[in-house]
Amino acid sequence: MELKAIALTAVVAATLGAAPALAQKEIIFGLSAADGSLQDQTAEEFARRANEKLGDTAIVKVFDSSQLGKDKDLLQKIKLGTVHITLPSSIMPDIAAEYALFDLPFLVADRAHLAKIDEALFDSVLRPAAEAEGYRPLAIWENGFRQISNNERPVVTPADLDGLKIRTPNSSWRVAMFKEYGANPTPMPFSELFVALQTGVVDGQENPMTNIYGGKLNEVQKYLSLSNHVYSPAYPTVGVTAFEKLDPEIQKVLAETAKEVAFWARDKGAADDDELQGKLESGGMAVNKTDREAFVAASKPLYDKFAEEVEGGREMIDQALSLASGSGS
């Protein structure tokens, strides 16, 4: 982190008064996820591989933990070109409604199924939808299967969430989901979550285990309920206009490396799941499994909402679900 802090000082100086050539040579990758989370590890792996290919042409530098701003700030900065790449996840449906497909509970059976959805829908539907708003996701990376934690009781059925203040990302679809389950969803940035849990502003939260572990949430949460309620991708994303001002060779390296690292991220996420569950349990969390069927039944209104509100939504749902057959689940 000390090296990142030194590099951050250089970025600030470059943003305030550097020559345009320097801004192109330093490819700034800002993300809100915590240091050590899978998102951060994947961004670092991307930087390592890209820098090997770029040689002296350019260098990718990663700044995690909202050092360069929270998700909304970073999305604005990639349009302006003061940051070149960011890694939004649950905020993507606010850019293009089609991305709420991944907010549908229990849609993604496993990572093999996710790979099929990626191949079928990313280039044909998801990327063009974001590009229409001035953003270009370069790939679908892993954020992981989301789990529920809280300080009141184990969550087995939706009824166990009744009245609990559950922190969610700033996602209207995630808010709608937890309202369906009877909770009191409370959107806030991840960077504010630890203190909010510590002080009782919220009772619990939902995140992939890599974020729960990376954010040290086991220090301020008693119960971890394994729900796998959503597979949450992350999208290495650039601003279309700013990105196209980069040297074409740099653009090519960044785009190709983003696709390449997607496979690394899924393998890393799968390998981490069992290990992190054990570490969180050893760190003091009581772990239980949820009643999947009870949650699936409570989730049906969200599928209807997506089909009604998103153009082509029913077709997207049907196509995604059809790909689950033989996925390896």
- The arithmetic mean of pLDDT across residues 312-323, rounded, is 97
CA distance 163 to 201: 13
Give the distance, in angstroms, between the CA of residue 179 and the centroid of all CA atoms in the same chain.
Answer: 21
Between the two ends of the chain, the Cα-to-Cα distance in Å is 38
Instruction: Tell me what pLDDT residue 28 has.
Output: 98
Confidence of residue 213 (pLDDT cuts 50, 70, 90): very high
Residue 101: C-alpha distances to residues 226, 281, 309 (Å) = 21, 31, 11
Instruction: Tell me what pLDDT residue 274 has.
Output: 84
Confidence of residue 34 (pLDDT cuts 50, 70, 90): confident
Domains of the chain, first to last: 2-95+111-141+234-271 (3.40.190.170), 145-231+275-322 (3.40.190.170)
Instruction: Tell me what pLDDT residue 40 has.
Output: 95
- DSSP H helical segments within the chain, as ranges? 2-17, 20-25, 38-54, 71-80, 111-121, 127-131, 172-180, 193-198, 209-214, 240-243, 248-282, 292-309, 313-322
Residue-wise pLDDT tens digits, 96-126: 999 999 999 999 999 999 999 999 999 999 9
Both structure tokens of 270: 């799968």
Pairing of strands 85-86, 135-137: unpaired
Instruction: Tell me what pLDDT residue 11 has.
Output: 52
Instruction: Tell me what pLDDT residue 8 has.
Output: 54
In the numeric block, the tokens 């890393």 are attached to 268
| DSSP state at residue 125 | I
CB within 8 A of 225, min separation 6: which ones?
147, 148, 149, 150, 154, 155, 156, 160, 287, 288, 289, 290
Ramachandran region, residue 144 (left: φ > 0; alpha: ψ -120 to 50; beta: rest)? left
Give the range with max mean pLDDT: 18-22, 170-174, 217-221.
Answer: 217-221
pLDDT value at 4 more than 80 = no
- Please tell me whether residue 63 adopts helix, strand or coil conformation: strand
What is the percent of the chain where pLDDT is above 70? 91
Residue-wise pLDDT tens digits, 267-295: 999 999 889 999 999 999 999 999 999 99
Q: Do 173 and 146 contact (CB within 8 A), yes or no?
A: no
Instruction: Tell me what pLDDT residue 214 has.
Output: 86
Residue-wise pLDDT tens digits, 153-173: 999 999 999 999 999 998 899
Both structure tokens of 151: 């300080």
pLDDT value at 21 more than 50 = no
CB within 8 A of 148, min separation 6: which ones?
155, 161, 166, 204, 205, 206, 224, 225, 227, 229, 290
- Please tell me whether residue 291 adopts helix, strand or coil conformation: coil
Residue-wise pLDDT tens digits, 230-250: 999 999 999 999 999 999 999
Instruction: Tell me what pLDDT residue 22 has.
Output: 46
Residues paired with residue 147 on neighbouring β-strands, in sequence order: 207
Q: What is the mean pLDDT of the chain?
A: 92
